[in-house]
Amino acid sequence: MGMLHLMVFWLLGTALGASFSWGVPLNVNFQTRVQRECSFTRYPSLCQNTLMELKDHPLHIISALVNKTISETNLPSTYFQTLSSQLEIQDAQLAKSSTGVYKEKIRTNKDGITLIGDGKYSTIIAGDDSVAGGSSMPDSATFTITGDGFIARDIGFQNTAGPGGKQALALYIASDHSALYRCSIAGYQDTLYALALRQFYRECDIHGTVDFIFGNAAAVFQNCYLVLRRPHGGAYNVILAHGRTDPGQSTGFSIQNCRIAASSDFSPIKHSFNSYLGRPWKQYSRSVVMESSIDDAISSRGWVEWPGAGSYAKTLYFAEFSNTGPGAGTSRRVNWPGFHVIGVEEAVKFTVGNFIAGTSWLPSTE
């Protein structure tokens, strides 16, 4: 790793949420024809209106600004060669990372951590631990965050172990009220471990092969790009593997207004492999894909069984609503009791405001 300039900012007197702003409000266009969600402050935030077509409400995004009430620390040197060194400093909660690849493994349980980079493919935290290389699945993660209120903007998380690395996590996240905006999360098998609690992803690119979004969080992915890569050997691709173990748990994955497609190098051979929207990791797995663009890399059956768990087809909840694209047709989808093509009344249950109570923790600037 070359010399990378990193700056630590100290909070002055007030909570981070009161003194930090992304800038002006922006429209967060989630299309259910029932609910509209908009604006950004510390978190991407929400408001409610009648939904219109996306083309009638373009996004207006301003670059992130550090509020003047946050001051640069007076340490002898404010520059560090690793991101870890910033996060280890007492009371340091906001880390500004310049362009570069940070080859390190980071674990933190601090609450209120905020990371800001120069772009989802410009500022990258990269590691290469994997199960094939001797790590356990959780310990393979490049970045692990278990403190609440985690925010990341314009930064990338990568695991470069490759398709033969078996499970190799780029990001392990168990942070309540976490929000990732314009980030990239790249790996192959088990790229993103959304373990638990309420999580929000907006305009993120997530790359992988097998179960590359998995866990038992209540997570909404909005306006994201889910990128299918070439799987290892004769394996098949699966995007979602949700792990709900009890029907009373209010968890699940909600994919809203996203794009699902093959990577540029996988696209020419995508029909030589099977790719699926999801499979049930646990008995009461729950995943919904709505108003998203689905490439024909996705098999016409859409979903696939977990090996040896055929009975899960009766207890899972998988649903689709108003998707588009050559892979969106539902006439040849699985005929499991737990699979549903839903209407708007059901779909609205999986919006940010309803599914993860976003109106209570993604405050509006308006």
* Enclosing H/E stretch for 339: strand 339-341
Phi first, then psi, for residue 269 (nearest 5°) are: -120, 15
SS3 content of the chain, % helix, strand, coil (to 5): 10, 30, 55
Q: Which of 211, 246, 265, 296 is catalytic?
A: 211
CA distances to 8, 42, 140, 183 from 85, rounded to whole Å, are 10, 23, 20, 21
Q: Which residues contact 39 (CB under 8 A, 6 or more apart)?
A: 25, 26, 27, 28, 45, 46, 47, 364, 365, 366
Contact predicate 224/192, CB 8 Å? no
Rounded Cα gap, residues 247 and 207, in angstroms: 29
Rounded Cα gap, residues 354 and 120, in angstroms: 28
Rounded Cα gap, residues 188 and 37, in angstroms: 31
Rounded Cα gap, residues 248 and 242, in angstroms: 15
Residue among 271, 267, 330 nearest 303 (CA): 330
Residue 132 buriedness (CB in 10 A; 0-12 / 13-18 / 19+): middle
Residue bearing tokens 């405001």: 353
End-to-end Cα, the chain, rounded Å: 42
Q: Please confirm, yes or no, whether 211 is among the known catalytic residues.
A: yes
Residue 238 CB-half CA count within 13 A = 19
Rounded Cα gap, residues 158 and 357, in angstroms: 29
Structure tokens at 213: 């979004």
Phi first, then psi, for residue 349 (nearest 5°) are: -65, -20
**Residues that are catalytic:** 211
